[in-house]
């Protein structure tokens, strides 16, 4: 009986693994390694890699810079409407990215809520690299903020109180005590957010458009090349798989992050 149960678990695991790994493996078998590398040498691939890197690094820096203090506040303070605020922060996780794209246009488009005013000042976001950064931030930031709130919540309040009793001001408590203690969770969250940002497609194509060397990120290039040169599309797809795998694996291998490896970093912030 015990054996049967273990066998059942093993079977389910195998099915899950094959189901998830088979398509990704097939991607690599479809194109030989040499062709894969040569397909990445073209200008479309090179430009897409550069655009993706640049926009994602900027977006990630902004997400961490703004998201960290925001998560600290959300974790440490109890206030009315906190559940609603946390839900708002999580919303982009479940929305189709296309909805994000339309919403961004409604807000920052030339005739949008804020965009209209910006346009009058001569600033226009759509079709620029800044628009790609905004789209990536919109879609990826919950992947950082959620685990960041959880990480700050996990910091023992009595430790923070002790620091305060010893005369540290609130900024000092945050920077010298809370931040180092939550660093593992913050790092893991930042890595997942970066991986999600690299894969961003829907909001970007709607809000930023697709132009080689300007707004065409890796996922957009894959979509465009799918119609022109299938091999380049596969090669770029394979590249994205490898990079994403490396990022997610790093979370499990970096000692400080392991405690927050994917499963636990997705733990939602307590809403009470």
Structure tokens that stand for 51 in this block: 């655009």
Residue 126 touches other proteins, criterion: CB under 8 A: yes
Residue 164 sits at the vertex; the CA angle it makes with 161 and 168, to the nearest 5 degrees, is 150
Residue 30 touches other proteins, criterion: CB under 8 A: no
Give the torsion through C-alpha atoms of 192, 194, 200, 206, to 10 deg. Answer: 130
Rounded Cα distance between 148 and 142, Å, is 9
Which CB, 230 or 245, lies closer to other proteins? 230
Rounded Cα distance between 144 and 8, Å, is 35
Which CB, 68 or 215, lies closer to other proteins? 215
**Other beta carbons less than 10 A from residue 11's beta carbon:** 10
Q: Which of 63, 64, 86, 105 binds other proteins (CB under 8 A)?
A: 105
Q: How far apart are the first and last CA of the chain?
A: 42
Rounded Cα distance between 236 and 73, Å, is 40
Reading phi first (left if > 0) and then psi (alpha if -120 to 50, else beta), residue 81 is in left
Which CB, 107 or 181, lies closer to other proteins? 107
Shortest reach from residue 21's CB to other proteins, in Å = 21
Shortest reach from residue 224's CB to other proteins, in Å = 5
Shortest reach from residue 265's CB to other proteins, in Å = 34
Binding pattern to other proteins, positions 193-232, x when CB under 8 A?
------------x--xxxxx-xx-------xx-xxx-x--
Q: Which of 46, 54, 76, 110 binds other proteins (CB under 8 A)?
A: 110
Shortest reach from residue 24's CB to other proteins, in Å = 18
Cα Rg of the chain (Å, integer): 21
Residue 127 touches other proteins, criterion: CB under 8 A: yes
Which CB, 163 or 208, lies closer to other proteins? 208
Residues that bind other proteins (CB under 8 A): 105, 109-111, 126-127, 205, 208-212, 214-215, 223-224, 226-228, 230
């Amino acid at each position: 009986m015990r054996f049967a149960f273990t066998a059942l678990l093993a079977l389910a695991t195998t099915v899950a693994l094959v189901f998830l790994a088979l398509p990704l493996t097939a991607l690599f078998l479809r194109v030989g390694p040499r062709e894969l590398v040569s397909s990445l040498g073209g200008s479309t691939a090179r430009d897409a890699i550069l655009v993706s890197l640049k926009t994602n690094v900027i977006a990630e820096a902004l997400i961490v810079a703004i998201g960290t203090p925001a998560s600290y506040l959300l974790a440490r303070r109890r206030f009315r409407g906190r559940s609603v605020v946390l839900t708002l922060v999580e919303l982009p996780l479940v929305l189709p990215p296309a909805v994000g794209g339309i919403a961004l246009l409604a807000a920052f488009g030339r005739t949008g809520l804020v965009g209209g005013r910006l346009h009058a000042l001569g600033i226009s976001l759509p079709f620029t690299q800044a628009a790609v950064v905004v789209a990536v931030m919109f879609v990826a930031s919950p992947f950082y903020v959620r685990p960041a709130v959880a990480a700050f919540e996990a910091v023992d309040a009595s430790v923070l109180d002790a620091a305060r009793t010893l005369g540290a001001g609130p900024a000092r408590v945050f920077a010298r005590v809370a931040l180092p203690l939550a660093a593992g969770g913050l790092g893991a969250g930042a890595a997942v957010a970066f991986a999600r940002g690299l894969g961003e497609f829907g909001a970007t194509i709607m809000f930023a458009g697709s132009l080689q060397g300007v707004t065409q990120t890796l996922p957009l290039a894959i979509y465009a090349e799918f119609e022109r040169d299938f091999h380049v599309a596969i090669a770029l797809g394979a590249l994205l798989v490898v990079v994403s795998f490396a990022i997610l694996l790093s979370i499990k291998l970096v000692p400080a992050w392991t405690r927050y490896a994917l499963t636990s970093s997705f733990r939602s912030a307590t809403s009470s």
